[in-house]
Amino acid sequence: MTVTDALLAPVLAADARRPLITFYDDASGERLEFSGETLANWVAKTANLLRDECDVEPGTRVSVALPAHWQKAVALLGAWWCGAHVVDSDAAVALVDAEHLDVDAPLLVGFSLDAFGRPLADLPADAVDYASEVRMHGDHFTPEPVAGSAPALGDATVDAVVDLSRRRAAELGHGADTRLLSTADWPVVAEGGLVDGLLAVLAGGGSLVQVRHADLSALDRRAEAERCTDRL
């Protein structure tokens, strides 16, 4: 079982149409909301793109140089659904935004992070533009078998990432009623922000309100409007 299956399947089984990730960018004014079902479709499209166009398969080293954003969530879950080993260096495929086009990897996948799906400017000719390509891929994905002992995130195995996510969900009190308001970053390591701010919320069956470029003066009103139960 992949990390994605372990964390996302219970959410979908419980209530696939309930809001799972609500994303704000206070610099651009955007607000996007994804049910579990909609997020899973994006994850499947991403996994299909990575497998079909980037040859990502179990064990492929993939780096994800993106900010805390809904597209980083689908990038990570899509990579793990392929059985990828998410790393911070020496990757075969690098998923990058405009600030990380200088990453040294054989293949770049560029993310514009644009709410309207515009392509990433200045992307090298031999790179893949995520926004342009992902919509052409199917919204169902059948993963290959992945062992629990396979590497998933840095030095952590699939089982270790899933177990840590579930343990942190219990320690933080994340459950089905959790609605976490977060401005935290998601460093791609098996500790801290990525686990506490994303994976533990999924593992606990809660939902996330993630705010980028947060207007701190608006957080109290947003927490009330979104009926948030916790903050990070």
- pLDDT tens per residue across span 50-73: 999 999 999 999 999 999 999 999
- Can you give the pLDDT at residue 101? 93
d(CA 149, CA 143): 16
- pLDDT tens per residue across span 102-161: 999 999 999 999 988 899 998 998 999 999 999 999 999 999 999 999 999 999 999 999
Comparing C-alpha atoms, which of 158, 133, 131 is closest to residue 147? 158
- pLDDT tens per residue across span 150-195: 999 999 999 999 999 999 999 999 999 999 999 999 988 767 789 9
- Spell out the domains of the chain, with CATH numbers in brackets: 3-17+36-177+189-205 (3.40.50.12780)
Surface-to-core class of residue 29, CB atoms within 10 Å of its CB (0-12 exposed, 13-18 middle, 19+ buried): exposed
The predicted model gives 83-96 an average pLDDT of: 96
- Can you give the pLDDT at residue 189? 73
The better pLDDT of the pair 125, 81 is held by: 81
Q: Is the pLDDT of residue 79 over 70?
A: yes
- Can you give the pLDDT at residue 45? 98
Q: Which residue has the tokens 């309100």?
A: 209
- The answer for residues whose C-beta is within 8 angstroms of residue 226's C-beta and 6 or more apart is 22, 179, 181, 209
- Can you give the pLDDT at residue 229? 95
Q: Which residues pair with 180 in a beta bridge?
A: 208, 230
Asked if residue 75 lies in contact with residue 64, where contact means CB atoms within 8 angstroms, the answer is yes
Instruction: Give the three-class secondary structure for 134.
Output: helix
Give residue 139's Cα distance to chain centre.
16
